[in-house]
Amino acid sequence: MRCLWTRCLWTRSLTGQLIGFMLLALMLSQGISFLIYWDERGHALREALKEEFLVRSASVARLLETTPRVYHADILHAVGTNYTRFWVTGESPEDIVAWQQEAWRQLKQPLPASPQHDDVPPAPDTAGTGGALVGSPAVAAEAASWSALSAGAWALSRPARYVRLDQAYGSGLTVQLANGQWLNAAFAKPAAGSVWLSRPSVSLAITALLLSLIAVLVARRIARPLRRLAYAAEAFGRGEETAHLPEEGPSDIRRTAEAFNRMQERLRRFVADRTSMLAAIGHDLRTPITSLRLRAEFVSDKEMREKILATLDEMQMITEATLAFAREDAAGEATRLVDLTALAESLCNDLADLGWDVSFVENDRAPYRCRPAALRRALRNLIENAVRYGSTARVTLTRSAEWLEIVVEDDGPGIPDAQLEQVFAPFARLESSRSRATGGVGLGLSIARTMARGHGGDIVLCNRQGGGLRAAIRLPQDRALSAPAQ
């Protein structure tokens, strides 16, 4: 579930993608820098501790050489620290493994009048290894023998021998004193704490948090006008009246809003010009039709006169239907929230009161933002077709994850599958299945589909098994029906 939610946020959210890309870039750049810094830091710290250890060991050697031997034991106890121990032997420590074991034993010994320090690193386990130190190959190779210190690193004139005690900062040293004895020194400090609790890691976390907050603010500043644009485009596509988008924000967003506003104005002018043209054509056709009707009355042949008048009546019906469609298209009905169940039920009841065989299957409420008069007319056209050609109409309302459908079914002869789309053409009539005696000019389904598509949906026809036609006004159910926050 978490993976699905993350993928959904990544694919659908501009904020999620922006934060993801910024954090990825931050992690890559800071990760490389951190690795370089951590390596350099470890090397610098190791060298600094080594230098301090060598200086301290040289000072202890001078102190022992300038004081009576009776005070040496007290001096060695006094100069010991939590992480450093000094002891004297009579012979040169040639066995490096034995010397290292003794060094760890000395480091584990408590200082006088102080508790044992449990944070000293435990001595490496050499049991079962044939005397070889357990560790990385580099440390094992370096610990196999003493190494001589350079003149610049060691302050005394007598040479000293140096060895690494562990993989962190542990060091060991032995140097011969003026009295022939050997001063031995061992230093071991626990390695630094968890890398995740280090200052660079905390700094990286704080930087990532601040960048995420900045990314959220930037993404919201970008996404807000985009959401407004998406809502305006959706509303305009449904035929709703939308205001001009604010032309503000970054230049890319501002140019997008300007282009949308210009497109909106052009489309409005185009629709207005088309509607005006249809209205003008329908109006102007009335005069010649009336003139032809008067002239037809003077035709002496009765049969010819009746044919002419029938043709003129059909032209009159087409003209009136075109004018009615143009007037309704120009009216620009406002969009509002209605209950589709109540709308369909009230229409069915009104038509049933007129004596039509229309029934509605009860259903739950279905609030929907639409132009109710246009949707009511589209549904009425489908019901009229069902009653005219199938004697009865059964209206139901169904839902799916993507669509909300108002379905009209009849018991008529249906329509050949190859001609299911042809009936939506203006003035189209399928004489094989629709007789001219039934009336109509062939605009009903065309007008109904235009109105359904104006809501972002469509009308789908299919033949029912066993006979009859199924017509469905399909409306999108997952579209945004409320304006976004400004």
**CB neighbours of residue 257 within 10 Å:** 21
The amino acid occupying position 20 is G
| CA 155 and chain centroid, separation | 64
Calculate helix-pair angle for 302-331, 251-296, nearest 10 degrees: 160
Of these ranges, 40-49, 284-293, 327-336, 381-390, the one predicted with the greatest mean pLDDT is 381-390
Query: Dihedral sign, CA of 149, 55, 64, 171?
Result: negative
Q: Is the pLDDT at 339 greater than 50, yes or no?
A: yes
Specify the pLDDT at position 459: 92
Contact 386, 471 (CB under 8 A): yes
At 436-472, the pLDDT tens digits run: 444 456 678 888 888 888 888 899 999 988 888 999 9
Angle, alpha carbons 28-34-37 (nearest 5°): 145
Say if residue 22 is exposed, middle or buried (CB neighbours under 10 Å; 0-12, 13-18, 19+). Answer: middle
* pLDDT (tens digit per residue) in 353-404: 888 999 998 888 888 888 888 889 889 999 998 898 888 999 999 988 888 9
Q: Nearest 5 degrees, angle CA 22-CA 26-CA 32?
A: 150
Residue ranges, comma separated, of all CATH 1.10.287.130 domains in the chain are 244-332
Query: What pLDDT shows up at residue 239?
Result: 66
Q: What is the pLDDT of residue 195?
A: 52
On average, the pLDDT of the chain sits at: 77
pLDDT digits (tens, 9 = 90+) for 126-185: 333 333 333 333 343 344 578 888 877 888 888 889 988 877 678 899 999 988 899 999
pLDDT at position 477 over 90: no
* Distance between CA atoms of residues 200 and 203, nearest Å: 5
H or E segment and range at residue 403 = strand 403-409
CA-to-CA separations, 242 to 119, 234, 236, 237, 277, in angstroms, rounded: 73, 10, 6, 10, 24
Third-level CATH fold of 334-486: Heat Shock Protein 90 (3.30.565)
Name the pLDDT band for 87 (thresholds 50, 70, 90).
Answer: very high
User: How much is the average pLDDT of 186-192?
Assistant: 78
| pLDDT value of position 125 | 46
Please name the helix (run of DSSP H) or strand (run of DSSP E) that holds residue 69, with its range, or none: none
Q: Give whole-number Cα distances, 325 to 319, 328, 380, in Å.
A: 10, 5, 14
Distances (CA, A) of 11 to 16, 59, 217, 224: 8, 67, 19, 17
pLDDT for position 2: 46
Highest mean pLDDT among 101-115, 154-168, 216-230, 263-277: 154-168
How many C-beta neighbours within 10 Å does residue 131 have?
Answer: 11
Nearest to 148 by CA among 140, 139, 158, 138: 158
What is the maximum span of the chain, computed from C-alpha positions, in angstroms? Answer: 157
For the domain made up of 244-332, the CATH class stated in words is: mainly alpha
* Cβ-Cβ contacts under 8 Å for 319 (sequence gap 6 or more): 282, 285, 286, 289
* Residues of each domain in the chain carrying CATH 3.30.565.10: 334-486
